[in-house]
Structure 1
């Protein structure tokens, strides 16, 4: 089951660049000790690759959260990855029908981050701090 999906968007980037960014993010999340053993990841495609396309067409990283992992902790790790990039791409986070796009500038805005978490947290858990602890 996918709890959260992440897309990476950069102006002028081709499909291979998008896939590389998703693989980088996947590696970042797997290396994050605060998420260790509590997160499942899968890079996948939302639509089939065009017939004349040589790549796999992967365009989304699906994340399955373990029972002890908050959405807030995961979102903070994703945004840390985003801000660590030389040219930080926009990151689109989605849960079900809810989609939120965060530019690098918005990722640095604490109020914007709180609003994003309030929208993405299931069952009203959005009133948590960025580290996943209750406020």
Structure 2
């Protein structure tokens, strides 16, 4: 019996236009074997279909969630600008305001706490 899929949505809001940041994060996540086929891009509600401002990542177990957390943390520590990352699923969302992150352990801990809160709500 397979585990059920949970979809976590991710949006990025840097000071600069977000399209490049979204493409960058999507590419970074797809570099992970466990996430490669699980990352999709969709426009936010009410936006045109050519916008890809929301990432959706399907996770089915704690291992996939940890890969997602570590991948986001790695991406954040390589960013040069300030970013706000929003994570969520239906009925729940959280916002991470990251200012030029350089300490991957701190970023990972912050994301783990957020994703843990998402899982606890489910």
TM-score, normalised relative to structure 2: 0.72
Which residue in 2 is equivalent to 1:57? 51
**Deviation of 1:88 (Å):** 3.9
Structure 2 residue ranges without an equivalent (≥5): none
Give the number of aligned pairs: 114
Which among 89, 98, 109 is matched to residue 92 of structure 2? 98
SS in 2 for 1:56: coil
Which residue in 2 is equivalent to 1:47? 45
Which among 111, 116, 119 is matched to residue 118 of structure 1? 116
Contact 2:69/2:108, CA 8 A, preserved across alignment: no
> How many angstroms apart in 2 are the aligned matches of 1:119 and 1:3?
14
> How many angstroms apart in 1 are the aligned matches of 2:51 and 2:110?
31
Which residue in 2 is equivalent to 1:75? 69
Contact 2:69/2:112, CA 8 A, preserved across alignment: no
Structure 1 residue ranges without an equivalent (≥5): 125-135
**Deviation of 1:68 (Å):** 7.1
CA RMSD of aligned residues (A): 3.0
Contact 1:72/1:117, CA 8 A, preserved across alignment: no
TM-score, normalised relative to structure 1: 0.66
Superimposed CA distance per residue, residues 74-97 of structure 1 (whole angstroms, 9 cap, x where no aligned partner): 122112111211114111111222
The structure with the greater share of residues assigned to helix is 2
Larger gyration radius, structure 1 or structure 2 = 1
Structure 1 residues 65 and 118 mapped into 2: Cα distance closer, same or farther (>3 Å)? closer
> How many angstroms apart in 1 are the aligned matches of 2:66 and 2:41?
21
